[in-house]
Amino acid sequence: MSELNPISGKTLDFTGENIDKLKGLFPEVLTDGQIDFEKLRLILGDEVNDKPEKYSFTWNGKSNAIKLAQQPSTGTLKPNKENSKSWDATENLYIEGDNLEVLKLLQKSYSEKIKMIYIDPPYNTGNDFVYNDDFKDNIQNYFEQTGQVDHTGNKLATNSESNGRFHTDWLNMMYPRLYLARNLMSDDGVIFISIGEKEYANLKKMCDEIFGEHNFITTFIWEKTQHFGRQKKNYYSNADYILAYGKNLKSNGDLKELLVEKVKTEHEDAPLYNASNPVNNLVFPKGTVKFNIDDGIYKKSTDSKFELQETVEVLNGYNNTDLKIKFSSRWSQERILKEIDKGSVYWVKSDIFSVRVIYGDEKTSLESPKQILFTNSNNPMCSYSRYGKKVGTSDEATSEVNKLLDNKLFSYPKPTSLIEYLISLIWSEDESYENDFTILDFFAGSGTTAQSVMNLNAMDAGERKFIVVQLPEPIDKNINISSLSQERIRLAGDKIAQDNQLNKEEFDNGFKVFELDTSNIQKWNADSENIEESLFAMENNFIEGRSNVDIVYEVLLKLGLDLNTHFEEKNVDESTVYDIAFGNVYIVLGDNITHEVANYIAEKQKEYENENPSAVFNDNGFKNDNEKLNAIEILKNNGFNEEQLMSI
């Protein structure tokens, strides 16, 4: 082997991936390298519906919307450390750009890694910004759209009801984004989508097609305001809808029950731990705590969160002696005893002794169905999250944002309490991961989801991460949504840390900012009138002005590594070596690469002893062909497979 394997400038080939899956399931349908659909039809038999009349949900442009979702992106995500907060410490991401292209760029690195998605897309009321995607070049289209403002600052890309394609344009925008979002969801993942009444019916049909009718969980109805009355000829709408779908309810049968109906215990339960509350010494009398751990004697411990102060005996699933424990509790000793009088029981599910309360009949009798989210605290059916926080209204959300930003530029934001309610529904019998997962919001708006994640982490010492995506849509002459929402997240994070007296080591209130841009890698311009100029440009593989770190992050995405992957930089000879994920990948950049780089990498591999390492080189950066050949041979002799030696 004298050459390196080139990395494609495009993202994952979705069509090719799906064809490979089909070949794996039905190898007999492959004829001369192509799929024989007639043979596939014969194999599937009665499962194929070829009747001339059949139910289908369609609209003008649907086929192009499907193709658009499958078309690879030629863009990349450029790091912006200047606009970030706590870059080196945070695992949260803020991505600025067209969410369609961003979702494509995340496909390989975040496939099946997202436990929860929440989005609040345009409701198509006639005044919303609606993305006008371009099948030919959506990256260039993105740059053009983000500048679409007239001389008065009004948006030019609204979807007015007078438009003959009013519903069609909205459907064409939403379909490819939801299609791509599904790929990112873990098998037990769930998506929540807020929507108004205008597009509810269309969204439900579209989601049934993309996620499957059998994966529909429920529709939540959120009482967004307490203002009632009439509006023109119609009744005033005081509610929004939230559709919930699972990725695969068949393999996760408990999900629908957990989200919609009562938890498996007889009554509703909630944790007593809250990091923002003072540390209390609590005593739970004999027989009042139910245990999901083995009977036996448990000695006192000094766990950082739950300190067992005296030995406790568990017999027949209950505490046979008083349970004396010290932790940050939202309830006092007095409240603990009062709840026992009401019939409440306490519950410990693991040997870390995190105590939960199972409410008694008095609490249970006032519960509302989880699908209807009442927000009036005077209503006995008012909705509260598992953490005891009331679900708020849109007016409360506006007040919440204005207190931080001191302006009224955001229209109808969602309250953090609503998103916290939805996030708190994602839980498991295994406490080890109920508060440690990734939440994606690709219509980030004012940044409510990001703040909600930080709020919950402060409450229960969780390690949830957020990925939020937002178009830099102008909302005033000199302000766009993404810059304003980033500021909101910064201020909110500081306030949460201050209010809860949390330091950076125990609480992540930062975020890395990435921006959608064209690829760092040069591509041949066949249409250029100046051939000599194009040839000269191709001598350098990279776009002028791009940094090494820009290139490293693009390679990470191409290789399927996430944007929080650790890497270290080392100068070797006249080149720069990036050691990615402790020797799993090496990226070598520079204009005078020699075989000394390969010697350095070989030595590092002896330290790491990784089984299948990769190396990526700037192909035009080698000092000469001999240095390139020597480097390849050195790496092959030190455990690198040929297919793992790549170039950009």
pLDDT (0 to 100) of residue 17: 73
Least confident of 363-367, 536-540, 559-563: 363-367
Q: Is the dihedral of CA 445, 389, 466, 488 positive or negative?
A: positive
Q: Is the pLDDT of residue 606 over 90?
A: yes
Q: Give the C-alpha separation, 495 to 596, whole Å.
A: 50
Angle 141-143-149 from CA coordinates, rounded to 5°: 100
Beta strands in 274-415 (DSSP E): 279-284, 289-291, 296-298, 307-308, 312-315, 318-319, 323-328, 345-348, 355-358, 372-373
Q: How far apart are CA 520 and CA 550, in angstroms?
A: 7
Rounded to an integer, the average pLDDT of 350-365 is 70
- Note the pLDDT of residue 138: 66
Give the model's pLDDT for residue 377.
78
- Predicted pLDDT at 56: 80
Average pLDDT value for residue range 393-410: 85
User: Helix or strand or coil: residue 30?
Assistant: strand
Tokens 């009439």, located at residue: 230
Structure tokens at 376: 């009036």
Provide the pLDDT for residue 343.
Answer: 81
Nearest to 451 by CA among 510, 492, 405, 407: 492
Stronger pLDDT, 113 or 474, i.e. the higher one:
113
Per-residue buried b or exposed e for 615-643, using 16+ beta carbons within 10 Å of the residue's own CB: bbbbbebbbeeebbebbbebbeebebeee
How confident is the model over 73-83, as a mean pLDDT? Answer: 95
pLDDT of 15 strictly over 90: no
Of the segments 197-211, 473-487, 510-524, which one has the largest average pLDDT value? 197-211
Query: Per-residue pLDDT tens for 222-236?
Result: 999 887 655 555 566
pLDDT for the residue numbered 38? 75
| Strand arrangement, sheet containing 5-6 | 5-6, 645-647, 614-617, 585-589, 575-580, 567-572
* CA proximity to 319, closest of 281, 345, 344: 345
Mean pLDDT over each residue of the chain, to the nearest integer: 84
3-state DSSP call for residue 377? Answer: coil
pLDDT at 580: 97
Would you place residue 477 in the very low, low, confident or very high pLDDT band (cuts 50, 70, 90)? confident
**Which of 66-80, 147-161, 519-533, 592-606 has the least mean pLDDT?**
147-161
User: CB within 8 A of 217, min separation 6: which ones?
Assistant: 190, 244, 245, 246, 249, 255, 256, 259, 260
CA 321 to chain centre: 44
Residue in 111, 131, 177 with CA at minimum distance from that of residue 473:
131
Query: pLDDT-derived band of residue 265, with 50, 70 and 90 as boundaries?
Result: very low
DSSP 601-627: HHHHHHHH--SS-EEEE-GGGBSSHHH
Closest by Cα among 103, 138, 185, 161 to 444? 103
- 365 pLDDT band, cuts 50/70/90, is very low
361: alpha, beta or left? (left if phi > 0; alpha if psi -120 to 50): alpha
pLDDT at 130: 61
Rounded CA-CA distance 466/117 in Å is: 10
Mean pLDDT confidence for 100-128: 91
Looking at residue 266, what is its pLDDT?
A: 40
CA distance linking residue 610 with residue 607, whole number of Å: 9
